[in-house]
Amino acid sequence: HYGTSVFEGIRCYDSHKGPVVFRHREHMQRLHDSAKIYRFPVSQSVDELMEACREVIRTNNLTSAYIRPLVFVGDVGMGVN
């Protein structure tokens, strides 16, 4: 995905209240903004991206994890015009 993606690296920590994602909104906002800067289409809102991360944590029964959300342009071929 060189040159066709943006990503974030996010830590999820175990706490007495359950898994906590460190600076979740800031990470998702930066991912969203990075995609917009590169003019990648992002149909999900920041809140929807946050919920998707929480769903990954729940579905996989994670308590402590490193999450790497990625936005990429997948239907575009690379070449010279």
pTM for the complete prediction?
A: 0.82
Distance separating alpha carbons of residues 63 and 19, to the nearest angstrom: 5
Mean pLDDT of 40-69: 95
Domain residue spans of the chain: 5-71
Q: Of 79, 64, 55, give the one whose Cα is nearest residue 19.
A: 64
Mean pLDDT of 50-75: 93
pLDDT band at 80, cuts 50/70/90? low
Summarize pLDDT for 23-49 with one digit per residue, the tens: 999 999 999 999 999 999 899 999 999
What pLDDT shows up at residue 45? 96
Class of domain 5-71: alpha beta
Summarize pLDDT for 4-21 with one digit per residue, the tens: 899 999 999 999 999 999
